[in-house]
Structure 1
Amino acid sequence: MAGGLIVTTLTACQSTKSEVIDNQKSINIKAADKAALEYMKAYIELDNKKMNELHINEYEFLKEYNVTYPGASDKLNGRYELFRYDLEEGSNEFYYKARYYHPGTGGKSSVELKMIKDKKDGKWKNYGWAWGDTHNLESIVGDKKPIQVHKWEGERE
């Protein structure tokens, strides 16, 4: 009888530990998704302050402009799609690809991001300015299928 009680107790503890880990990963994913979306919006507006808040390192983007396209992200109206790649390299790193209509320029555009959890403040941030221009997302993610975080709504320009 005592052996059965020990096995049941150990199983319950393992189950609870697994649930806590899954719950923490879910919280991390939601926070990373939100930060990736916020970065995309700041990127669309070319908002220096917001982009720097969402970067691991600070950059000097366009000195003469604080915000190049103010309010442009408010005009998205759901015309974007956001994909997350979870390479399961740890719960502190995700890759994203966003495709969107750019209200400021009137055309389609995209951005690729490597979002990591900042060890200093625990917030999710983009690894580097123009990361997608200097790295090949497809070669990193391989044939891994992305998870669609947001589906394009409305017309495709």
Structure 2
Amino acid sequence: MRHILGRIGVIITASALTTGAAAAASTADAGPARSAGLYAPSALVLSVGKGDASSATVQRAVTLSCAPRPGGTHPAPSAACSELRSVQGEFAQLTRPQSQGDCTRQWDPLVLSATGVWQGRSVSWSATFGNECEMRASLSEGSVFSF
């Protein structure tokens, strides 16, 4: 009888320790989600795809983070972040209409896309160009999609 009571005591003690540890862990995780800093997040994935918008195959892609400081796999994150800040993250303002005589009319479409978060708001943008010449002419000297 003493042997059985000893085992029950061990089981109850182990159970109490396990329950206490689980309660402490769940209490630690129950706090409100907080931002890691004072900056609204700005993290994007930029890509260039070959083909129509519905079937484009990604050729190149980079990440771009702008807050609190520029970074990511983009080759020129500081310049790209500055350019995006100058247009308040409106990707459509990065492209300009091109004149009709600059490029051939060859249909070899490219799709530029940007997805992620810019200064705390969700971003999902894409634009299709008839060929690489049209894309380069439309982007001019911009650095955001120069990768």
Whether the TM-score (by the shorter chain) exceeds 0.5 is: no
Which one has the bigger helix percentage?
A: 1
Give TM-score, length-normalised by structure 2: 0.28
